[in-house]
Structure 1
Amino acid sequence: MTDVRIRLDLAYDGSAFHGWAAQPGLRTVQGEVEAAIATVLRLDSPAPLTCAGRTDAGVHARGQVAHVDLDGVDPETLARRLQRFLPDDVTLVACSPAPPGFDARFSATERRYVYRLRDTPGGDPLTRGFVVAHRSSLDVAAMAAAAEHLVGEHDFASFCKQREGATTIRTLLELRPERLPDGLVATTVRADAFCHSMVRSLMGALVAVGEGRYEAAWAGQILAATERDPRVTVMPAHGLVLEEVVYPPDDQLAARAAEARNVRTAPE
């Protein structure tokens, strides 16, 4: 038999996880899912998962996507068995054969996150694990004006925890804060990819402007500096949800994966 690539669509409450990526001695989403697959298939060692976006500790997901290569496994049978062995804070949304050329990470064209916070009294106490309580009132219009300085292809080194050998150049497709009818401030963030802590750092800059501490143009100045600034707070993880990963048509998956593997340089 030959390996079959299987696409897994996952949702999880990130509260009790040390992020997605497997780490020795720590509970992670990847570790739990790999262990469950190894159990149901009676594997000698876990089959490694590749995900679309490595969520940080405490970050949630409704639309995480991963792939795994398994020897002659029927996806429907795997899905049926896997549901019984996954922990309560992880749900297998879908399990299907991956089309040719599919790579959960490199074939993706964009990831969409939403960051939610409340800056008014009250609210539903049952959502406190998913909504950040903010003590001061926010000017959402000012936050939106600041966001305009950040959208586009840039070097986001000012908003990332840099990793050796990794580029911090990203294309930010959307950064849109809005006040919802229930009073929540929800910010939609879309990009081709994100670097470590990027979304929560972007939110830190928007919140600083929304509090009236800086003018909207300050966000652009931070971006242009391409180095971390202590005035930019990394916002709490529990307000952030990976909502969706977008892929191109099946006949473009392999080409997209090849393109995404190229190291990007700063735009001129």
Structure 2
Amino acid sequence: MSEPAVPSGSAGFSHVNQEMAVTSPDSARQTVAIRVRLDIAYDGTDFTGWARQPGLRTVQGVLEETLSKVLREPIQLTVAGRTDSGVHAEGQVAHFDTAAQFDGPKLVHRLARFLPKDVRVTGIRVAPPEFDARFSAIRRHYAYRLTTAPYGADPLRARSVVPCRAVDLDAMREASRRLLGLHDFAAFCRRREGATTVRELQRFDWVASADHVVDDESGGPDGHSAPDRGQLLTAYVSADAFCWSMVRSLVGAVLAVGEGRRTPDWVAGLLAERERSSSVTVAPAHGLSLIAVDYPADADLADRNAQTRETRTLLPTDPGCCGT
């Protein structure tokens, strides 16, 4: 899995007061606004998705409220991928503009004191003014995790792993390969008025590993053989962007092949459909996590922004990728 490119720049600003991240509201207003990149991780279980919604607990709402209090100015975030209710993130990226002066590493530590345990800002850095978390992105990477353990998901990771039956992994890999490339994924996307469903699926493969939370070198109790723990199956899915519910629909369709209910040819045939297929099951949200977002080099940010905006002007698109 490739790592997201990191815009160059200073790690932070001069730190004046170690307790408060900002020097003062008056001095902040006199400072030229700069663009700030946030790297974010969250457990989506108890959030109603990323996007701010009145009266609901959302990742954007919690982060903006906390940042606004700490920086003592209104903060509005732009995000790389708008995840749905229950979807997690290990490598979400957002940006905002501020006139506040702060020290990046110390602000990360300070936010950890005020944010709830299910969301963390893992990095803060100054970004070039051309950096846009949404429009600068060239690739988004997701992981979907399943377990074939006969007893279901281990309690320590039941919030992020979905149990399934034993599957034919080779058939699933074949079905996944048939979907790679530039296609109209309408059969896999929930319809949004005026939204294009043409996407370039760049990676869709499966990795199997032993489903162990801890290594068990001593066998089972009293020296007997260890219980059948099944396999942890991780789907890695990458594209330039995703339409609403696309990743979970891709996983749901391919899982049907693995369980013997469908064939790889059936999956490939879905690409010919021009509206959402009722035969495609959307996999549960909690198995999905946004793990990384790729960006071009700083010198190419402006061109990437223009290219993305032009594409989304010529082809109607959904507002902000992804509803995955």
TM-score normalised according to structure 2 size: 0.78
Question: C-alpha separation between the residues in 1 aligned to 2:81 and 2:40?
Answer: 12
* Match in the other structure for 2:306: 258
Distance in 2, Cα, partners of 1:4 & 1:193 = 27
Summarize the alignment of residues 142-221 of structure 1 with structure 2, pairs less than 5 Å apart. 142-182=171-211, 183-221=231-269
Q: Could you tell me whether the CA contact under 8 Å between 1:75 and 1:97 is conserved in 2?
A: no
CA shift for structure 1 position 249: 0.9
- Which amino acid counterpart does residue 248 of structure 1 have in structure 2? P
Quick check: 1:31 aligned with 2:79? no
Indicate the SS of the match to 1:257: helix
Contact 1:16 1:58 in 2 (8 A): yes
> CA–CA distance in 2 between the matches of 1:19 and 1:187?
21
How far apart are 1:80 and its partner, in Å? 4.0
Q: Percent identity?
A: 52
Given that residues 34 and 129 in structure 2 are in contact (C-alpha distance below 8 angstroms), is that contact kept between their aligned partners in structure 1?
no
One of 283, 287, 290 as aligned partner of 1:235:
283
Are 1:224 and 2:290 an aligned pair?
Answer: no
| Counterpart code for 1:10 | I
Deviation sequence 1:139-184 (CA, Å, 0-9, x none)? 1111111111211111111111122222211111000023223311
Q: For 1:239 and 1:232, locate their aligned partners in 2 and report how far apart those are by CA, in whole Å.
A: 17
1:256 CA drift (Å): 0.9
Structure 2 residue matching 1:178: 3-state secondary structure: strand
Which residue number corresponds to residue 101 of structure 2? Answer: 73
SS of equivalent to 1:255 = helix
Note the alpha carbon deviations across 1:93-144, whole angstroms, 9 max, x for none: 100001231000111111111100112314522111110011x221111111
CA distance in 1, matches of 2:109, 2:63: 14
- Structure 1 match to 2:221: none
Contact 1:140–1:178 (8 Å) recurs in 2: no
Give CA-to-partner distance per residue, 1:59-93, whole Å, 9 cap, x none: 11110000011124335254343232211111111
Task: Determine the C-alpha separation between the residues in 2 that align with 1:59 and 1:24.
Answer: 19
Q: Aligned AA for 2:87? A: V
Query: Is 1:120 the equivalent of 2:120?
Result: no
Aligned to 1:52: 80
- 3-state SS of 2:210 partner: coil
Task: Give the Cα–Cα distance (whole angstroms) in 2 for the partners of residues 208 and 56 of structure 1.
Answer: 22
Q: Distance in 1 between matches of 2:150 and 2:140?
A: 31
Aligned to 1:91: 120
Among 41, 45, 70, the residue aligned to 1:11: 41
Asked if the contact 1:100/1:250 (under 8 Å) is kept, the reply is: no
Q: State the AA in 2 paired with 1:51.
A: V
| 73 and 160 in structure 1: CA distance in 2 versus 1, 3 angstrom threshold | farther
Question: How far does the alpha carbon of each residue in 1:28-80 deviate from its partner, in whole angstroms, 9 at most, with x for none?
Answer: 0000000001111223xx42101111111001111000001112433525434
Q: Any unmatched runs of 5+ in structure 2? A: 1-30, 212-230, 317-324
Question: 1:138 matched to which residue of 2?
Answer: 167
Structure-2 separation of matches of 1:265 and 1:216: 30
| Distance of aligned partners of 1:221 and 1:126 in 2 relative to their CA distance in 1, 3 Å threshold | same
1:80 and 1:99 map into 2 onto residues whose CA distance is 23
- Equivalenced residue count is 263
Query: Does the 8 A contact of 1:100 with 1:254 survive in 2?
Result: no
